[in-house]
C-alpha cells in the first residue's frame, strides 16, 4: 500500500512539472515558454546571462536584465522594466507572445513591460540571447533576421557591435540614459544621443534640454573633440549616414579586452575596459573630464566642488532634500531651505564668494549693488542676485549649476543667496577681524616704525612660507612662475633632462630642496592639467616620488617634486664616479621599486600605468631608498589610452611587444619594462648591449635568459660585485626577470606577485625562454629546442603549486 502511495505521489509531481510547459533552452525563449524565479537564459558561449536581478543594496525590487555571466561583481548592461520593478520573481514571468512581443507579467498576469515589437501577425517567434549581449527576437523560420533587439533600445550602456543614432524615417533618437543611482535603474536626468539639432555630433544632456558636452562634428574620420576615435588601436569606430538612418558603431579588435561605454548617474560618459589579465574594470576615457562641468549635478541650490570629496554640498541654511539619495551619490533632488522665506524684512542674503553663477539669470538695468539687492528683496520670487562688471543679475525660481571656484580657477563671482535672516551664519568672525584691526592700529601708534617693518617683512614672507608649509603637509599647491624662478635661481641649476622636459634644483624658503620639472610639448588645457595634478598629488607611497605642487601660467606647465639627493639609479649602475651599490642595496632597490609599481597598479583609486619604467626613472634618497618618478606622465597626457599610445612610446630596450603590435596597453607593459630593468640591476650594464661572454656577441637579454634557464644565473652578476651576493636571491631575481619579459602578457606576473616572490612569500618556477628572443635573434636559439619546448609546456605559471619544492 505504501509503495502505491509513493508511486502516485511521484506521478502527481511529474504531472505538475509537465503542466508548467516545455523546458527553456539555454539561450532561447520561445512562444509558450516563460522565465521566472531563478531561471535564466545564457548565451551560447556563456558570455552573458538574462534573468531577474536586484540592483545595489535593494532587496525588494526585481528587474529583468542582462549581465556578464563570467564576471564578478555583477555588471548589468541592459534593463527591461527599469521604471516598473516587480516585488517577487517567483510570481512574475517573462514570456514571448504569439505576435513576437517580449512581455513581463506580474503575479496577476498584468503586463509590467513590453518590447512593443509591433509585429503585425502571429508566428513562431523566438527570443535569443546572443554572445555579444544583444537580446534579439527572430522568426523561427529565419533566425538571421532580427525583428526586435535590445541593441536598438539601449538603457545606459553602449556595447561593442551596438549603435547609437537616429532613424530618419521615424525621427526616433536612440539614447543612453543614466541610472537614477546604484540602487535604482530608473532613467536618471543624464542622457547621450545625437544632437537634437540634426548635426553630426553626439551630446550629453541634462533633462534632455541642457547640453553640457559635445563630441564635435564628424569630419569623415573622427569627431573633432574626440580624436581618439581615429587613433585608437583598441577598437574600430565607424559612422554611417545614409537615407534611412544616421548612427555610430564600434567593434573591439582584441579578444582579450572587454569594453563598454556607460552614461553613469554622475552625468559623465565613461569607456570602461577590462583586461583578461587583471579582471578589473578600468576607466580609460571620461567625458566631460571635470565632474562639475555636468549641468545641475547637485540639483536645485546644490553646490558642486571638485575639491570636496563628497562633490556636492548644500549652502548654509539648506539641507539635502532626500538624504537617502544623497548617500548614494544621487544629488539630483538638490537642497531645500531649513526655514521658509518670509518675503520681507525677515529675509537676508548669504554671501557666497568665488562662485560660478547659476544658469537662467535675468538681467536688470540697475546701476548699483544696493539697488540690485533691493530689487531682489522686494520680489518674493527672487532667490539670489549678483552685482559685478556685467551689472545686476537676479535668479527667480530654481538656482541650478552652482559651483565653488578656487584660487587660480578664474570665472568666479560673488553670489548673494536669499535666506531667512535667522539662518544666515553669525558674523562673529567679522567682529573678531574688526577687533584685530583696531588692536593693530593701537599697537602701531605705540611702536609705529617697528610694526611697519614687521608687517612689511611678514607680507613679503607670507607667500613664500605658505608654499613651504603646504608642501610639508603633503598637499599639492599652486606656485606662481615667478616664485619658481626665484626658488631655482632662474632655472640655472639643471640636474637632468628627460623626454618630457628638463629638471632644475630649487630651494624653498624653509630650506627644503625641490626638483622642478619644466614640461615640454604638453597639449592640454589648464583645467584638465590641474585636475590630473590634483589626482596625482593624492597618490602617496614610500616608494613613489612625492608631487608637492605645480605651476600653470602663461602656457608654462611645471611640476614640483621632492628632491632626491641620491640621484637616479642609472647613474649608480652605469656611470663612473657615483656610489657603488652592493648586492644588498641593489636587492632592496629592486624590492622597493616593485612595491611602488604594485601600488600604482593595484592600490590607487584608478590604476596608473607608468609606461616608461627604467633605471633613469628610479630615484634614490640619501639612504638609497628607491622612489619611482614620472609615474604621472601618461595621465597628464590624457586619460584615454589612445593618446597615450600615440604620444608615449617608452624607451628602446624596455618596450613590451604590445607597443609594437598596437595592442591595448595594460599594467603588464610596466611588468615587461621592470623585467628588462632587472637584468641591468643585476649585471650593472645596459640591456641593449651585446653579450661578450666567451666570444658570444648575441643580444644580451637572450643570452642572459638562456644562462638563467641553464642554472648559471651567477654568470650575470656585475663583475664589480666580485661574486659577493646571495646566490638564491640572484637566481630568484633573474627568474622573475624572465617571467616579466614573456611575450604573452597573460604569462607575465602582476607586480603584486613580484613583490610576494621577492619578499619570500611565494616560490617561483623556472621560466620558459620567451619566443621573441628566439624568433628575433635566430643566432640565439637554444641548442636543444625539443628540451626547451617541453619546458615551455610544463612551466606555464610563474608561481610554483602549493606544496611543491
Alpha-carbon distance 720 to 610, whole Å?
Answer: 31
C-alpha cell at 267: 552625468
Transcribe 532-564 into DSSP letters.
HHHHHHT---TTBPPEEEEEEETTEEEEEEE--
The beta strand positions in 317-421, using DSSP E, are: 318-320, 335-337, 347-356, 362-364, 382-388, 391-396, 402-404, 413-420
**Phi, psi (rounded to 5 degrees) for 361:** -80, 160
Is the bond into 73 cis (omega within 30 degrees of 0)? yes
- For residues 262 and 155, the answer to whether their CB atoms sit within 8 Å is no
> Which backbone phi and psi does 513 adopt, to 5 degrees?
-80, 145
DSSP 585-624: HHHHHHHHHHHHHHHHHHTSSS----S--SGGGEEE-TT-
Give the pairing of strands 477-478 and 547-553. parallel
d(CA 645, CA 419): 52
140: cell is: 523561427
Question: Greatest CA span in the chain, whole angstroms?
Answer: 118
- The answer to whether the annotation marks 342 as part of a ligand binding site is no
What's phi and psi for 668, nearest 5 deg? -70, -15
Whose cell is 639643471? That residue is 494
CA distance linking residue 775 with residue 781, whole number of Å: 8
Q: Is 306 a catalytic residue?
A: no
Contact present, 85 and 54 (Cβ < 8 Å):
no
Question: From the CB of residue 395, how many other CB atoms can be counted at a distance below 10 Å?
Answer: 23
**Alpha-carbon Rg for the chain in angstroms:** 33
d(CA 326, CA 285): 26
**Ramachandran sector of residue 422 (left: φ over 0; alpha: ψ -120 to 50; beta: rest):** alpha
Residue 382 and residue 375: Cα distance in Å, rounded? 9
**Helix-helix angle 727-740:751-758, to 10 degrees:** 170
Q: Running DSSP on this structure, what letter comes out for residue 636?
A: H
Find the Cα–Cα–Cα–Cα dihedral 454, 460, 465, 467, rounded to 10°: 160
Name residues whose C-beta falls within 8 Å of residue 164's C-beta, 6 or more positions apart in sequence: 154, 158, 174, 176, 192, 193, 194, 202, 247, 248, 249
Q: Write out 684-695 in H/E/C secondary structure.
A: CCCCCCECCHHH
Q: Which DSSP letter does residue 218 get?
A: B
Sheet strand arrangement including 202-206: 176-181, 184-194, 202-206, 210-214
Which contacts of 776-781 are long-range, i.e. CB under 8 A and separated by 24 or more positions?
A: 776/699, 777/698, 777/699, 777/702, 779/698, 780/698, 780/699, 780/702, 780/703, 780/706
Q: Which of 612, 640, 670, 782 is catalytic?
A: 612
Three cell numbers written together for 25: 533552452
Q: What is the DSSP letter of 11?
A: H
Q: Which residues, 6 or more positions from 733, have their beta carbon under 8 angstroms from its beta carbon?
A: 587, 590, 678, 681, 682, 758
Give CA angle at 470 (466, 471), nearest 5°.
115
Q: Residue 666: helix, strand or coil by DSSP?
A: coil
Q: How far is Cα of residue 73 from the mean position of the Cα atoms in its chain? A: 18
Just list the catalytic residues: 612
Query: Residues forming the annotated binding site?
Result: 518
Binding site feature residues for ATP: 518
Amino acid at each position: 500500500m505504501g509503495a502505491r502511495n509513493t508511486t502516485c505521489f511521484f506521478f502527481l509531481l511529474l504531472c505538475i512539472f509537465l503542466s508548467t510547459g516545455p523546458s527553456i533552452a539555454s539561450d532561447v525563449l520561445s512562444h509558450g515558454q516563460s522565465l521566472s524565479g531563478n531561471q535564466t537564459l545564457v548565451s551560447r558561449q556563456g558570455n552573458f546571462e538574462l534573468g531577474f536581478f536586484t540592483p545595489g543594496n535593494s532587496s525588494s525590487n526585481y528587474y529583468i536584465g542582462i549581465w556578464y555571466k563570467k564576471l564578478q561583481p555583477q555588471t548589468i548592461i541592459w534593463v527591461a522594466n527599469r521604471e516598473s520593478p516587480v516585488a517577487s520573481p517567483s510570481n512574475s514571468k517573462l514570456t514571448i507572445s504569439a505576435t513576437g512581443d517580449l512581455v513581463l507579467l506580474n503575479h496577476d498576469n498584468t503586463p509590467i513591460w513590453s518590447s512593443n515589437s509591433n509585429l503585425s501577425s502571429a508566428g513562431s517567434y523566438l527570443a535569443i540571447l546572443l554572445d555579444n549581449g544583444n537580446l534579439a527576437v527572430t522568426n523561427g523560420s529565419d533566425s538571421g533576421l532580427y525583428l526586435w533587439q535590445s541593441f536598438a533600445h539601449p538603457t545606459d550602456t553602449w556595447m561593442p557591435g551596438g549603435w547609437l543614432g537616429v532613424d530618419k524615417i521615424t525621427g526616433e533618437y536612440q539614447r543612453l540614459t543614466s541610472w537614477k543611482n546604484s540602487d535604482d535603474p530608473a532613467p536618471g536626468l543624464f542622457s547621450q544621443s545625437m544632437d537634437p539639432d540634426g548635426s553630426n555630433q553626439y551630446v550629453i544632456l541634462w533633462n534632455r534640454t541642457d547640453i553640457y558636452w559635445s563630441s564635435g562634428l564628424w569630419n569623415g574620420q573622427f569627431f573633432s573633440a574626440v580624436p581618439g576615435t581615429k587613433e585608437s588601436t583598441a577598437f574600430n569606430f565607424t559612422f554611417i549616414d545614409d537615407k534611412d538612418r544616421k548612427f555610430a558603431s564600434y567593434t573591439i579588435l582584441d579578444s582579450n579586452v572587454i569594453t563598454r561605454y556607460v552614461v553613469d548617474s554622475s552625468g559623465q560618459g565613461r569607456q570602461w575596459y577590462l583586461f583578461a589579465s587583471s579582471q578589473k574594470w578600468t576607466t580609460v576615457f571620461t567625458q566631460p573630464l571635470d565632474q562639475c562641468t555636468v549641468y545641475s549635478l547637485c540639483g536645485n541650490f546644490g553646490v558642486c566642488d571638485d575639491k570636496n570629496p563628497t562633490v556636492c554640498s548644500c549652502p548654509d541654511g539648506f539641507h539635502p532634500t532626500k538624504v537617502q539619495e544623497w548617500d548614494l551619490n544621487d544629488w539630483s533632488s538638490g537642497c531645500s531651505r531649513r526655514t521658509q522665506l518670509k518675503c520681507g524684512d525677515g529675509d537676508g542674503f548669504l554671501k557666497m564668494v568665488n562662485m560660478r553663477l547659476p544658469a537662467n539669470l535675468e538681467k536688470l538695468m540697475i546701476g548699483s549693488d544696493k539697488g540690485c539687492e533691493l530689487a531682489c528683496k522686494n520680489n518674493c520670487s527672487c532667490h539670489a542676485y549678483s552685482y559685478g562688471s556685467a551689472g545686476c543679475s537676479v535668479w527667480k525660481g530654481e538656482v541650478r549649476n552652482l559651483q565653488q571656484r578656487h584660487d587660480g580657477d578664474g570665472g568666479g563671482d560673488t553670489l548673494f543667496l536669499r535666506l531667512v535672516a535667522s539662518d544666515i551664519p553669525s558674523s562673529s568672525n567679522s567682529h573678531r577681524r574688526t577687533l584685530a584691526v583696531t588692536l593693530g592700529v593701537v599697537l602701531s601708534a605705540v611702536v609705529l616704525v617697528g610694526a611697519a617693518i614687521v608687517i612689511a617683512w611678514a607680507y613679503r614672507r607670507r607667500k613664500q612660507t605658505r608654499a613651504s608649509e603646504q608642501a610639508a603637509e603633503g598637499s599639492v599647491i599652486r606656485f606662481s612662475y615667478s616664485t619658481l624662478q626665484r626658488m631655482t635661481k632662474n632655472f640655472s641649476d639643471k640636474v637632468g633632462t628627460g623626454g618630457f622636459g628638463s629638471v632644475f634644483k630649487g630651494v624653498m624658503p624653509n630650506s627644503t630642496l625641490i626638483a622642478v620639472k619644466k614640461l615640454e610639448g604638453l597639449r592640454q588645457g589648464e583645467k584638465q592639467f590641474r585636475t590630473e595634478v590634483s589626482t596625482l598629488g593624492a597618490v602617496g607611497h614610500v616608494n613613489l616620488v612625492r608631487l608637492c605642487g605645480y605651476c600653470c601660467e602663461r602656457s608654462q606647465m611645471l611640476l614640483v617634486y621632492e628632491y632626491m639627493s641620491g640621484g637616479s639609479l642609472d647613474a649608480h649602475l652605469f656611470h663612473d664616479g657615483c656610489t657603488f651599490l652592493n648586492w644588498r642595496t641593489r636587492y632592496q632597490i629592486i624590492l622597493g621599486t616593485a612595491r611602488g609599481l604594485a601600488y600604482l597598479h593595484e592600490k590607487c583609486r584608478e590604476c596608473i600605468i607608468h609606461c616608461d619604467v627604467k633605471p633613469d626613472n628610479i630615484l634614490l634618497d640619501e639612504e638609497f631608498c628607491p622612489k619611482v618618478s614620472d609615474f604621472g606622465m601618461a595621465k597628464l597626457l590624457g586619460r584615454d589610452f589612445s593618446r597615450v599610445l600615440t604620444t608615449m612610446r617608452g624607451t628602446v630596450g624596455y618596450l613590451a611587444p604590445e607597443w609594437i603590435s598596437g595592442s591595448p596597453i595594460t599594467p603588464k607593459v610596466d611588468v615587461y619594462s621592470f623585467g628588462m630593468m632587472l637584468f641591468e640591476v643585476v649585471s650593472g650594464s645596459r640591456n641593449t648591449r651585446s653579450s661578450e661572454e666567451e666570444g658570444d656577441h648575441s643580444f644580451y637579454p637572450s643570452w642572459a635568459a638562456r644562462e638563467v634557464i641553464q642554472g648559471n644565473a651567477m654568470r650575470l652578476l656585475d663583475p664589480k660585485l666580485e661574486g659577493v651576493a646571495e646566490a638564491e636571491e640572484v637566481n630568484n631575481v633573474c627568474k622573475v626577470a624572465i617571467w616579466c619579459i614573456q611575450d604573452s602578457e597573460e604569462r607575465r606576473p602582476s607586480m603584486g606577485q613580484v613583490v610576494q616572490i621577492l619578499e619570500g612569500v611565494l616560490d617561483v618556477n623556472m621560466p620558459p625562454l620567451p619566443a621573441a628572443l628566439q624568433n628575433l635573434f635566430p643566432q640565439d636559439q637554444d641548442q636543444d629546442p625539443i628540451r626547451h619546448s617541453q619546458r615551455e609546456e610544463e612551466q606555464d605559471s610563474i608561481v610554483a603549486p602549493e606544496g611543491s619544492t
